Structure 1
């Protein structure tokens, strides 16, 4: 292994080939993100660095410095993203060692990693839906759905769907991409009715680990889903639980079914002809949350803020962590490593320790 970038190596596997082999072993969003970051890294490397053998500790130190500069730019990436990008490249080099293409991983050298930003984040600063925020948006979507049903039950689909979606996000702890369509991963095409067991309060989702996982569904989410199922009356378990009424997407489905575009409402045409509609996407849900956050006058949000998909998940974990402890939060959020849960809610532990320590010294001096 060379220790400088002064001369290119005439031997070794090309970086592009190593990248393609590594990405091919992965699946889903992780593979897409991995490919994106590694391609950018290869584009960044100097002309003389074209094979695995050309990558030195100095190469990686310079890359770490490059990431640090990006993190400190006004419109740059976060410290955490900088470390994630570095770790993706390091993972490629680790795999290269495992298959015998490299003798060692230069990215793991202490001098190579030294310029990286710390990547530490304050868990208390990350958005989570507080109980007050959950209550505000749920009260709003519930009242909105009830009013729509009272006015015309047959035309209340969007309001009933939105109430069910918000309830699932607010109380189950699922990731948005586990119940909505994600354009970056064709395996994530939205939750389907065959994966919903309302009697037992369970939905089965494709987890972050790319495996099917059962997830508890509290009654706060079961009741809105049951009302949505009755209204939608899906002809097949393959239908999405949260369909999209986006006209261009509906016309694509109609055309894909070999039908001519209707003159009237494409949504009504899809329902009448049993054509499976598309699922709402994560981007569509973010747009919906922006609008609902504003309409519901959700408290504790700045003027340009809105309730986020992942904030819902963190909010579930936050409440469970406080009320039932770390184990219950970990089980519901399906964290493989308890350390992930502990780090996510470290601010709670610190706050509780502060209260305990205050009590210990209370007899000495009290303000």
Structure 2
């Protein structure tokens, strides 16, 4: 097996080896992202694709099609993320050409890249929670929780939990998958109470970088979380902050704990026995947001439209970008590359530039 510039290896370098060599040459978040994405790509490849020589343009075309299928609003990855994943694999193959392990990069063939989703959508066309929309849903979940507490006391769990969840989404800029369970990624099993520092306003999440990341927890989200914590009567540190009360999921947790199926309410049973319940999933949260958006009569939504998980994150960034600048938005959203923040809110810069240019020509 060769590893010089004399030509491609006749045996073909194993994909895992090529990946490890490439990642070792990088560092920081980029290296972590590469390792994660390239590992997922290798897992995706058919069994017959084991070495670099096995990767053909048709392999990459199928991968591009796979990424396009995954890039659906609020139900997968974004179009830009799909292209980023493809580009990571292409970068690996380019490096393989540079060191003599491949003759050419199959990912850069026109027929391979054609199925990739386009990313021509204007940044201002993507949904974000506007201030009036954020106020509408926050006021609704707050009133809903207060009414339930007055009527049911400690029985108002769901309403208090939903208020806390909406406030965390509305004010922190976290990704939905960072605080909710995602069945596709085992490590994403929901935010835990041990991840919260309510005294100092710090939230620790398992970030997109595949590392633990700290982010700000504003007071607007702290108080609803304190109320939820009180209602749960000091839950164990390992408990999810936003437990699911979905009966089948609760019965599965009870069974996994080695208990017989209870006759009564499974939620009451897990509270009584201390069995750890599952976290609400991202799909469950989407269903909840659809219902709450309708109940709150959120302004500015088209028929059948609702406030989305990622729209909450964009809304936080939008507010910070306008009032505190790009750096504040980047820090809160935890973008490794400032260019990502700039592209996300390019419509703001364009609007400000239009205002400046209007003033310049007003005197003519």
- Distance (whole Å) between structure 1 residues aligned to residue 51 and residue 230 of structure 2: 59
- Distance (whole Å) between structure 1 residues aligned to residue 98 and residue 162 of structure 2: 48
Structure 2 match to 1:254: 254
- Distance (whole Å) between structure 2 residues aligned to residue 29 and residue 271 of structure 1: 38
- Distance (whole Å) between structure 2 residues aligned to residue 107 and residue 253 of structure 1: 44
Structure 1 match to 2:332: 332
1:63 aligns with 2:61: yes
Cα distance, 1:54–1:258 mapped onto 2, change above 3 Å: closer
Give the drift of 1:119: 2.9
Structure 1 match to 2:174: 174
Structure 1 match to 2:222: 222
Structure 1 match to 2:26: none
Moved more, 219-228 or 248-257: 248-257
Q: Which runs of 5+ in 1 are unaligned?
A: 1-8, 72-76
**Over aligned residue pairs, what C-alpha RMSD do you find?**
3.7
Cα distance, 1:90–1:204 mapped onto 2, change above 3 Å: same
TM-score using structure 2 length: 0.81
Cα distance, 1:239–1:109 mapped onto 2, change above 3 Å: same
- Distance (whole Å) between structure 2 residues aligned to residue 288 and residue 175 of structure 1: 16
Residues 93 and 105, structure 1, Cα contact 8 Å, conserved in 2: yes
Give the drift of 1:253: 1.3
Please give the residue correspondences for 1:22-171 in structure 2 after superposition, counting only pairs within 5 Å. Answer: 22=19, 52-53=52-53, 59=57, 63=61, 80=80, 83-84=83-84, 86-87=86-87, 89-94=89-94, 96-97=96-97, 101-108=101-108, 119-171=119-171
Q: Which runs of 5+ in 2 are unaligned?
A: 1-7, 24-29, 70-76
Residues 329 and 341, structure 1, Cα contact 8 Å, conserved in 2: yes
TM-score using structure 1 length: 0.81
Structure 2 match to 1:3: none
Cα distance, 1:324–1:19 mapped onto 2, change above 3 Å: same
Give the drift of 1:91: 4.1
Cα distance, 1:225–1:362 mapped onto 2, change above 3 Å: same
1:297 aligns with 2:297: yes
Size of the aligned set, in residue pairs, is: 342
Residues 19 and 92, structure 1, Cα contact 8 Å, conserved in 2: no
Structure 1 match to 2:211: 211
- Distance (whole Å) between structure 2 residues aligned to residue 304 and residue 148 of structure 1: 27
